[in-house]
A and B are shown apart, each in its own frame.
Chain A
């Protein structure tokens, strides 16, 4: 998630408000792919934190991210199966993944308190960017009511995560 958020933050100007989505609103299969990718990125970030961090607050947060985003993606997979929709790769999800990968590499070089602070800060940035994309682009563009509803629940959840991440940043200072 953090990687995704960071990627989102970095890519937001280029991707969400720029070329990729400005040309045409994303289709439901593209939205499903973006949302799934965004979740997977934060799960990977959480797992990285669980491997590297010894801080109880950071670990609890990371466990929550892995648990919640896994649950959202299980819902997303069940939904696309029900709708017989195949998520479609697109420049936005590709950009998210490549940015997230870069962030993972960056975080891998850190350890201890430096890692904890960088992870927490990235989680704030990532969720902020994802939430902006959900509110401004993905939810308004979603055509299917079930997909729209899941995205709306996702937004509510990720706003909680953003608030939690902001508290974590504060606590780690």
Chain B
């Protein structure tokens, strides 16, 4: 399957799960900010991706839960520390951390969850 084909199927899945329009879904779209996803939607998305691509997505592999576990080594004063960024890189190898490194406020973590993240993850699962 080509990357475009994967994107097409992921976009269709997100349209179903999040009730958004087809043209709202772009690779750079953030799930929470742009597409209005809430926590329960993340689980719905995982279920649908499993069925659409016939793969198994172990819990926390695509959308890690409590990445930092309130560990003060990872988060200080609302900002993610360099150690925390290393933890992110380990737990979310498909994420694009370039922008996040410029402004590492904890509240920006949500922006890492993009459509592109899902597409890259699926690509590696299908490889």
The answer to whether A and B come from one shared complex is no
Which chain A residues have a beta carbon within 8 Å of chain B's beta carbons? Answer: none
